[in-house]
Structure 1
Amino acid sequence: MAMRFDEAEPVLWFTLALATALSVATGDALTKKFFGRFSALEMAVVASLFNLPFVLITIPFIPVPELDRVFWWTVCILVPLDAFALYLYMRAIKASPLSLSIPFLSFTPVFMIFTGFLILEEVPNIFGVVGIGCVVIGSYILNAAEARHGYLAPFQAIFKEQGSVLMLIVSLIYSLLAVLGKKAIQHSSPLFFGFFFLGALDLVTLVFFPLFGKIRWGALLRMPNKGICVGLLLYVHVLCHVLAISMIKAVYMISVKRTSVLFSVVYGWLLFKESEISNRILGAFLMFLGVVCISLLG
């Protein structure tokens, strides 16, 4: 018997959200695998370089909604902030194991709770507090092997790992971007904003990043297959993201998307033979549960 659309839609948004998570994690892993010998600036540039053609082909087919001043000033703030976050993100995955950097993206909703409390005086409920606890305990377990040096050593190890610290900064920036991105979508549409923003970010990356360091364009262009693979994964990530978020409340979609931290830990083990993987999978899983708790119940 054929499945009705209203029965199929939950399966569809969940599949798209899961595809978003998988494309994010795969893109990060392959960027590190293929381009890890390049600088962080070059690692950021390569995704934009090979992603931009896909975006330019897509944009003409997307309906343009009515755009107001709020949309434009929001985008003007978002793009440079996201470009800076992208650079720090690449520095993080270049400097540290995936299993000790990517899971710290789970702190984004934690930071959102604290900014909501400080700015809006919003008090988290018990589930929000439990979610924060899961994220913090999970971050401890990531470095549980350090506990032999003292009970606080796993927390101290976080700040000794460059990638962990950088990804915490990225999480803080993302907590601000999440609010601004929601504002921009409210004044446009999910599909238009997703690809317009990605195209703008690609252009800013390609034009301005070379001003801050040497980009070996020739070396990058001599790796077209690997570059297209990374660029296409970024495109799929954004496409699945905007389609999923247009079907369901953002909190549900983002909760599923955060399974990317689990995929990243597994990739760290499979592709880079990262150690202490059982602790890191458990820690990342607890951090993921914390995100779900905060997003859905907090």
Structure 2
Amino acid sequence: MNWFVLALISSITLSLRELAVKKAGKELSSVVMSWGLNFFMFLIILTLNVIFFNYHTITISFVWVLIIAAILDSLATVLYLWAIKEGDLSKIIPMLCFIPVVQLFVTPVLVHENLSLIGILGVLVVVFGSYILNMKTWDGFLSPVKSVFKDKSSLMMLAVACIWGVSSSFHKIGVNQTDALFWAVSEIGLISLFLFPFAFWLDKGNFSFSKLKNTFWPAIFSTLTVLSYYTAISLGPVAYVSSVRRLGVLFTMLIGIIVLKEKVKRLSFVGGIIMITGAGIISLFG
């Protein structure tokens, strides 16, 4: 199974996770949902490591990479939740489209990945399509970019994109030093530890372990998402894998139309076609 198939699987399960969160997360705050999801993921992946006797010798370099990745991802999660709570989704969500763009500059430095020119073109096509898919009208095409200079939530989400664009390289380093299963249990366990105080103290006294059962199914899909993603970046360039994962936005839209009976927008259709074209360029020529 090559990296493209694994990235595609990751994008599909990511969409299913979002649906599960939408269905199950009505009674939970976003902070508790995030911590519970990561906690159950940790337990599931830990069990898999035990079943398969999967272990590695821990080195100092691995510990440093792990700590940096967990801190970055924990910070990104907090900023992401804050931006979602305070901002206009139509303005802040398109900011996440810039994750592969950040990776184009970061991965050559941190993991020494050099992409072909046509592969870079494919990444940019996916980014452009994803951006359009999140727009409401052509008249508001530049509104998310303009909002960065006057809206804190948009600026926060752009920071999230930059952080995730950087942390993905540390994921690849960690996976290459061990494997996808061991890296996942290590990083997600540390993220759960970092996020627990936020879940406990920021939920205004409503924190309850009995509520966390609602995060189990989202955690199942998230586990599949993470393991397929980590395996994919061990086999292929991070920017390519991340770009194909952006198709998760398209799959989420399709789930919304089929399952939730939402109406499709013309711009969403155009953006989806552009994204598929970009993914095709990466798959064939990247």
TM superposition score normalised by structure 1: 0.73
SS of structure 2 residue aligned to 1:216:
coil
TM-aligned CA deviation for residue 204 of structure 1: 2.2
- Cα 1:115–1:228 shift into 2, 3 Å: closer
Unaligned runs of 5+ in 1: 1-8, 148-152
1:277 pairs, out of 265, 277, 280, with 265
Counterpart of 2:245 (choices 236, 241, 257) is: 257
Q: Deviations over 1:1-35 (max 9, x none)?
A: xxxxxxxx45xx66544332222111123223432
1:155-191 CA distances to partner (integer Å, 9 max, x unpaired)? 1145559876654332211110111112222322232
| Greater mean alpha carbon deviation, residues 64-73 or residues 268-277 | 268-277
Where does 1:1-298 land on structure 2 (aligned, <5 Å)? 9=1, 16-36=6-26, 38-61=28-51, 62-91=53-82, 104-115=95-106, 125=117, 128-129=120-121, 131-132=123-124, 135-136=127-128, 138-140=130-132, 142-143=134-135, 145-147=137-139, 153-157=140-144, 160=147, 166-214=156-204, 216-218=206-208, 221-222=210-211, 224=213, 226-245=214-233, 248-251=235-238, 253-270=241-258, 277-287=265-275, 289-290=277-278, 293=281
Distance change >3 Å, CA 210–CA 291, structure 1 → 2? farther
Distance 1:73 1:93, change over 3 A: same
Structure number with greater Rg is 1
The CA distance in 2 between the partners of 1:123 and 1:294, in whole Å, is 10
- Cα 1:30/1:255, change in 2 over 3 Å: same
CA 1:250/1:47 → structure 2, altered by over 3 Å: closer, same or farther? same
| RMSD between superposed Cα atoms in Å | 3.9
**TM (normalized to structure 2)?**
0.75
Consecutive unaligned residues of structure 2, counting only runs of 5 or more, are: none
State the shift of 1:97 in Å. Answer: 8.6
Shift of 1:278: 3.0
Counting matched residue pairs gives 279
My pick for the range that moved more, 285-294 or 44-53, is 285-294
- Equivalent residue of 2:142, what SS? helix
* Pair 1:109–1:14, CA change in 2 (3 A): closer
1:99 deviates by: 7.9
Sequence identity (%): 24
Greater shift, 205-214 or 123-132, is seen at 123-132
Q: 1:249-281: per-residue Cα shift (whole Å, max 9, x none)?
A: 245654543321211222344566656633124
Deviations 1:73-102 (A, max 9, x none): 111111121012223334555667988766
